[in-house]
Chain A
């Protein structure tokens, strides 16, 4: 009797704990974030994408997100939980969620999965990323024209092809307009540590860099540059409020067009597994307003952005030599996606360690 009562109590508690649903939405969309939404960088932008689909589809969908999910066993648990609780479309937004996503996708063949920045796919797992290096070519052009010391400082996070590709794209573009430019790289070995990002910016500036670029998540490097009176670029979001007089532009990750497109595909029953890697042309890579620069630099930046978008110019057009002098891309050839996805060498003009 007592046991039955206890069971009943537990059942009631569980019923109370389940949120009451009003009208059932057609589709529940789940998001798994690697960082806090408040990072004002990578995860913040993914959440902007989530808000965009809520705005687009209104009551037809319902979204859920789980933030700060470590890459590893926890991720698997969170993804399974989302799949088991009726989510029809799940975005897993960090590279390290690759294997957990595939594993859970196998168990839930009816659920559609979208994994960011990965390369493994299956019938119900798509991958997507954005061609951020196109934006790097734009900021490289600006940096090459704006620098007086011919020294660009680059705050790099971790040595993966994505980051190396960005360093190369920016350096190539800068040297195209100013062959004397060199790029000094400092690895922070972390995506997110505001204190260290600022430290790296200060170290670069103390050694003569007068333009700071960053491939880390917080606005700390940009802010340190503003306070030292040095030009810099924002990363992931428009960070102009952190450097009102020194931000030249920012490379904005805009996931909204992709998220809207894929959500619509599921609602229409037209979703199929694919690999998406789009850039400026598709509106996934957006340049923040060009500020704090002369008109000719702005015009040059706009031209590069337009040419890259139209395909007239590819940021990796040969001849390109790596910094050891080996030719990597022949004259007039362009790098194919496979080469760019595996890039593990620096172009001429990049200084600093390249960890293997």
Chain B
């Protein structure tokens, strides 16, 4: 059981990082479907830099930077040149898959030391809870801190209010004097940096290696989690941990000998997500209150 929960926290981290970033992006009214591509570019850049410099800190920074640059490409095409956001995001994913494979050619078959685990004296080993919650690497806590920071920013600061306003009604935001495109650029680039961090977690800590397409669809899960969480930060945290728990059940359940077909266990995370979506969507107001009304709609300043 202990290992199950320990592993759940690790499995949730890349999803949480990517999803919390996408939440900020979408809250500003931008739908960036390029999460998978940004994660892959983050993963390959983090691995390349950590491998060449020997510093995992630089690797993490490089991962975030690569995601941010990818998001910047998206911003120029979709926000400044007003291309369709869904199409641009999909293109970004395809681009990311190909470009990361190209960059990573020289790193296939190279191993890396995993990211160091932190440990708190006495507390890490003394109790079961201590062993589960403490003793992870720094990015696990960074992800949670990011989620807390985003929750605080969105609901307790002026900047967060402006960001949500722009996402809900860009014309009003513009009339109030907010720089709609500027805010969306920043929000999207933040989302890209977070996706890059999620990718970096995969290639530096989860499985410290580079393998083509190693995200294996986690970017799409992150996108679904944002909707699942009805665009609220703490629900993204809960959703990521829930999804990771059901994913781990797929493996531990087989080991424990649960009398359930393994294919069913493999399907379970998705069933759980769909069920949760259905339950949440039954309350229309709850969803409407948080869904950014202008999501995916292009904005052009008329005056």
Enumerate chain A interface residues (CB-CB to B < 8 A). Answer: 35-40, 44, 68, 184-190, 192-200, 202-204, 206-207, 218-220, 223-224, 227, 237, 239, 241-242, 351-353, 355
Interface size class of B (residues with CB under 8 A): 35 or more
Contact residues, B195-243 vs A (CB, 8 A): 202, 206-214, 216, 218
Q: Is the CB of B209 within 8 A of A194?
A: yes
Nearest chain-B residue to A158 (Cβ)? Answer: B263
B252 within 8 A of A: yes
B255 within 8 A of A: yes
* A195-B101 contact, Cβ under 8 Å, with A223-B111, A223-B208, A242-B111: no
- A140 nearest CB across to chain B (Å): 20
CA distance in complex: A186, B110 (Å): 26
Nearest chain-B residue to A202 (Cβ)? Answer: B7
Known pairs A195-B216, A203-B248, A352-B254 / 5 extra A-B pairs, C-beta < 8 Å: A38-B104, A195-B218, A223-B208, A224-B207, A241-B110
Candidates A185, A189, A200, A218; contact of B211 at CB < 8 Å: A218
What is the count of residue pairs linking A and B with beta-carbon distances less than 8 angstroms? 123
Secondary structure of the B side of the interface? helix
B3 within 8 A of A: yes
Cβ proximity bits B109-130 to A, threshold 8 Å, 1 near / 0 not = 1110010000000000000000
Using Cβ atoms and an 8 Å threshold, which residues of chain A touch B208?
Answer: 223
- B40 nearest CB across to chain A (Å): 11
Q: Is the CB of B255 within 8 A of A203?
A: yes
Q: Is the CB of A194 within 8 A of B214?
A: yes
Q: Is the CB of A44 within 8 A of B261?
A: no
Q: Is the CB of B109 within 8 A of A186?
A: no
Using Cβ atoms and an 8 Å threshold, which residues of chain A touch B218?
Answer: 195
Using Cβ atoms and an 8 Å threshold, which residues of chain B touch A38?
Answer: 101, 104-105, 108, 210-212
Contact residues, B1-42 vs A (CB, 8 A): 2-4, 7, 11, 14
Cβ proximity bits B149-163 to A, threshold 8 Å, 1 near / 0 not = 000000000000000
Candidates A198, A206, A207, A241; contact of B207 at CB < 8 Å: A198
Using Cβ atoms and an 8 Å threshold, which residues of chain A touch B105?
Answer: 38
CA distance in complex: A223, B257 (Å): 25
- B271 nearest CB across to chain A (Å): 14
Q: Is the CB of B214 within 8 A of A195?
A: yes
Q: Is the CB of A39 within 8 A of B254?
A: no
Q: Is the CB of A195 within 8 A of B207?
A: yes
A-B CB proximity, top 6 nearest = A206-B3, A36-B212, A203-B251, A38-B212, A193-B216, A220-B207
Nearest chain-A residue to B1 (Cβ)? Answer: A206
Using Cβ atoms and an 8 Å threshold, which residues of chain B touch A193?
Answer: 216
- B77 nearest CB across to chain A (Å): 25
- B263 nearest CB across to chain A (Å): 6
CA distance in complex: A253, B82 (Å): 50
Q: Is the CB of B262 within 8 A of A353?
A: yes
Using Cβ atoms and an 8 Å threshold, which residues of chain B touch A227?
Answer: 114
B88 within 8 A of A: no
Q: Is the CB of A186 within 8 A of B212?
A: no
* A220-B209 contact, Cβ under 8 Å, with A38-B108, A195-B202, A351-B257: yes
Q: Is the CB of B216 within 8 A of A40?
A: no
* A237-B109 contact, Cβ under 8 Å, with A190-B216, A206-B3: yes
B134 within 8 A of A: no
CA distance in complex: A68, B202 (Å): 21
* A186-B254 contact, Cβ under 8 Å, with A219-B209, A224-B207: yes
Nearest chain-A residue to B106 (Cβ)? Answer: A38
B61 within 8 A of A: no
- A141 nearest CB across to chain B (Å): 24
Using Cβ atoms and an 8 Å threshold, which residues of chain A touch B209?
Answer: 194, 218-220, 223, 242
Q: Is the CB of A187 within 8 A of B254?
A: yes
Q: Is the CB of A199 within 8 A of B255?
A: no
CA distance in complex: A351, B207 (Å): 27
CA distance in complex: A186, B257 (Å): 10
CA distance in complex: A189, B267 (Å): 10
Candidates A186, A189, A219, A242; contact of B255 at CB < 8 Å: A186
Q: Is the CB of B202 within 8 A of A203?
A: no
B133 within 8 A of A: no
* A203-B211 contact, Cβ under 8 Å, with A195-B206, A227-B114: no
Using Cβ atoms and an 8 Å threshold, which residues of chain B touch A40?
Answer: 108-109, 211
Using Cβ atoms and an 8 Å threshold, which residues of chain B touch A39?
Answer: 211-212
Instruction: Write 21 A-B pairs (CB below 8 A) sorted by A numbering.
Output: A38-B105, A39-B211, A186-B251, A189-B250, A189-B266, A193-B216, A194-B206, A194-B214, A194-B216, A195-B207, A196-B250, A197-B207, A202-B251, A203-B252, A206-B2, A207-B255, A207-B256, A224-B207, A227-B114, A352-B257, A352-B262
